Amino acid sequence: HFGFQDGLSESEKTDRVAGVFHSVADSYDRMNDLMSFGWHRIWKDHFVSSLNPGYSSSIPPAPQRVLDVAGGTGDIAFRMLHQSHVVNANPNIHITISDINPSMLAVGKQRSLSLPAAQQATLSFLEADATQLPSTILPNSLDLYTVAFGIRNFANIPAALAEAYRVLKPGGVFACLEFSKVRNPVFDAIYKRWSFSAIPLIGQLVAGDRDSYQYLVESIERFPSQDEFRGLIEDAGFVVGGDGFEDLTNGIAAIHKGMKP
């Protein structure tokens, strides 16, 4: 299985990833809990509260437009809706969940039906490739661009960052939650052993799909380090503050943020 994507063209890589997420869509939410011992929920909660969508210092609050890229089954977008509508008492937000994969979006649409009607009214879905966003998303139109556990799957990461930059307003924020590099060598050894042996096995037993989960583990391994990824974000034109990232659970995951000047 190693070298899953070696020697493939960009469009072949994109097709391969589409196949993986088509086959995992139905089991995706359950598998996330099993593979991360539920940690992904804590990371997602922290990611969204740190962004605090819907917060506004002006009265009435300025409208906000948010694009959740590779939004899949809605975990990030639904949390952002809650943060804005409930925590910040601000319904003046619009969130678009975009994903390249109609199967993942279909699961997200189904799940969104149990949201309060007011929240559903401020949510829309869009089938789109992050490396080539459609013209319906206007340049300089977004306040916030989020991508969680998505960017490592993109065939061309710099192209996706350039697209994020293009569609954000000046002052708009790019925010990414992604698996990253574990700092502590002992913890890293244990983590690698877990991910390379247990995750494909759980994938086989629970979802009947070893190869897709093998791919997910390999894609984490291939993704750049915290510092390298910050460099790519800066190369795209974003300004980053401080370290430019925040490690979660010893670097198993990390949050990167950048602002379009």
Which residue ranges are tagged as binding site for S-adenosyl-L-methionine? 73, 99, 129-130
Q: List Cβ neighbours of 133 (8 Å cut-off, separation of 6 or more).
A: 98, 163, 166, 167
Interface segment toward ligand SAM; rule CB under 6 A; list 98-106, 136-144, 228-236, 242-250: 98-106
Phi-psi region of 90 (alpha: psi -120 to 50; beta: other; left: phi over 0): beta
Q: How far is the CB of 185 from ligand SAM (least distance, A)?
A: 27
Residues 63-82 that bind ligand SAM (CB under 6 A): 70-72, 75-76
CA distances from 231 to 38, 72, 87 (A): 30, 26, 34
Q: Are strands 253-259 and 245-248 parallel, antiparallel or unpaired?
A: antiparallel
Q: CB atoms < 10 A from the CB of 259, how many?
A: 15
Structure tokens that stand for 137 in this block: 């998303």
Could you say which of 125, 154, 213, 229 contacts ligand SAM (CB under 6 A)?
154
The distance of closest approach from Cβ of residue 258 to ligand SAM in the complex, given in angstroms and rounded to an integer, is: 18
Q: How many residues bind ligand SAM, per CB under 6 A?
A: 20
Mark out the alpha helices in 52-101 (DSSP H runs): 75-82
53 sits near ligand SAM (criterion: CB under 6 A) = no
Min. distance of Cβ 186 from ligand SAM in angstroms?
27
Assess 47 for contact with ligand SAM (CB under 6 A): no
Q: Shortest Cβ distance from residue 128 to ligand SAM (Å)?
A: 6
Element (H, E) at 112: helix 102-112
**Is 149 one of the binding residues for ligand SAM (CB under 6 A)?**
yes
The residue at minimum Cβ distance from ligand SAM is 72
Q: Does 100 bind ligand SAM (CB under 6 A)?
A: yes
From residue 179 to residue 208, the character string flagging contacts with ligand SAM as x (rule: CB under 6 A) and all else as - is ------------------------------
Site for ligand SAM in 9-28 (CB under 6 A): 14, 17, 21
Burial class of residue 121 in the structure, from the number of CB atoms within 10 Å of its CB (0-12 exposed, 13-18 middle, 19+ buried): exposed
Cα–Cα distance measured from residue 84 to residue 162, given in angstroms and rounded to the nearest whole number: 27
Of 152, 148, 98, 90, which Cα lies nearest the Cα of 128? 98
Per CB under 6 A, the segment of 52-60, 144-152, 165-173, 191-199 that binds ligand SAM is 144-152
| Residue 211-250 contact track with ligand SAM, rule CB under 6 A, x = bound | ----------------------------------------
Q: Rounded to an integer, what is the distance from CA 150 to the centroid of its chain?
A: 4
* Assigned token pair, 12: 């072949």
What type of residue is 70? A
- Supply the DSSP symbol for 151: G
At closest approach, how far in Å is the CB of 11 from ligand SAM?
11
| Residues in contact with ligand SAM by the rule CB under 6 A | 14, 17, 21, 70-72, 75-76, 99-101, 104, 129-131, 148-150, 153-154
